[in-house]
Amino acid sequence: MSGGDGVETIEFRVAVREAIAAEMERDPAVVFFGEDVAAAGGVFAVTPGLRKRFGERVFDTPISELALAAGAFGAAVTGLRPVLEIMFADFLPLAMDSLVNQAAKYWYVSGEQAPCPLVVRSAMGAGGNFGAMHSQTPVPWLQGVPGLKVVAPATAGDAYALLRAAIRDDNPVAFLEHKRLYSVVDPVSEVETLPLGEAAVVREGGDVTLVSVSKGVRDCLRAAAELAERGIDCEVVDMRSLRPLDTATVLRSVAKTNRVVVVEEGPLIGGWAANLLGILTAEGLHDLDDAWTITCPETPIPYSPTLEDAFLPDPARIAAEVTTRLGLARAPAG
């Protein structure tokens, strides 16, 4: 597809599908399976047509997340590169034994002799009124597991390049796709792969650093645009991956702005935002003008649209908190 200015663009869900297809064409060891991913094309219409293109290398499975993960582990250690889809990331706990106690440990316990190349894709996030058990963002459940990479793209171009890199990785990767991003359209990626664990500065600024991942990055960019009208110049860092965690990029940004706010769609306690601030402090950021997090209340996610909207850290809240913490907005230069 193309944008109105002639720039080639792609929908997020299509970028994910094309990344899987490109790697299946490149490597016959890649297989793809999950619940309703073949005949139905996925509950979020991400994977239609893959079964027709690749035949038996794409197949539907029973509704058993543990069986899916165990099958992927077995396939990965016997020569295949499985990509499995767990429909909602809320159900990842059902697959944790295979992911955490087997796949993530395999390279280590084999004495670095045997890889375990598998990717588990899953839809996460709130904002669509899916209710408390279908709207969570489970990054903290996974981030504390050495051996398991955690990737969460914010744009269609990054989704394409990061997923291709994840499929090529020789160890397990959790690839989390925010369900509110599936319909967004972005420029086509000009690169085949991006390094896992490398953050990106997606907006330059000098007054305060906003850090987030996935949909939170887009919320921060919208907040930054609003804050610019108030005379506050924000830098925005997209973490892209939350394991490995690229603290160096954040440290360079904060050295410039001397203020940082980390935005997470999830609770403060046990969350990745507070963890990142702790790491930054341990690495020398003791004299900042300000550092804080913007997170969700310590409750399950509401089903009510009105309550869910109030629950989430949206651009208006980000902009309001930054304005308050920095004091009155300065008059624009000139």
pLDDT tens string 36-66: 999 999 999 999 999 999 999 999 999 999 9
Whose tokens are 């990737």? That residue is 151
* Residue numbers of the domain that contains 81: 9-187
What pTM, to 2 d.p., does this model score? Answer: 0.94
Do residues 183 and 204 share a domain? no
Region of poorest pLDDT, from 92-96, 179-183, 225-229, 325-329: 325-329
Q: Does the residue 31 lie in any domain?
A: yes
pLDDT tens column, 222-272: 999 999 999 999 999 999 999 999 999 999 999 999 999 999 999 999 999
- 134 classed as catalytic: yes
Share of the chain above pLDDT 70, in %: 96
**Closest among 293, 240, 244, 246 to 270, alpha carbons compared:** 293
pLDDT tens column, 152-211: 999 999 999 999 999 999 999 999 999 999 999 999 888 999 999 999 999 999 999 999
d(C-alpha 334, C-alpha 330), whole Å: 11
**CA distance readout (Å), 185 to 2, 41, 42, 90, 155:** 10, 20, 19, 25, 8
In the prediction, which pLDDT does 282 show? 87
In the prediction, which pLDDT does 181 show? 98
Q: What CATH number is attached to the domain comprising 175?
A: 3.40.50.970
Do residues 179 and 225 share a domain? no
| Residue 289 binned pLDDT confidence (cut-offs 50, 70, 90) | confident
Q: What CATH number is attached to the domain comprising 220?
A: 3.40.50.920
Do residues 128 and 175 share a domain? yes
Q: What is the number of domains present in the chain?
A: 2
Exactly one of 51, 134, 243, 259 is catalytic; name it: 134
Do residues 138 and 56 share a domain? yes
Q: How many residues does the chain have?
A: 334
| Residue 151 binned pLDDT confidence (cut-offs 50, 70, 90) | very high
In the prediction, which pLDDT does 194 show? 97
What are the start-end ranges of the H helices in 91-246? 96, 106-109, 139-143, 156-168, 215-228
**Max alpha carbon distance in the chain (Å)?**
65
What's the CA angle centered on 220, arms 219 and 225, to 5 degrees? 100
Do residues 32 and 108 share a domain? yes
Stretch 275-283: mean pLDDT, rounded?
90
Do residues 19 and 110 share a domain? yes
Do residues 238 and 274 share a domain? yes
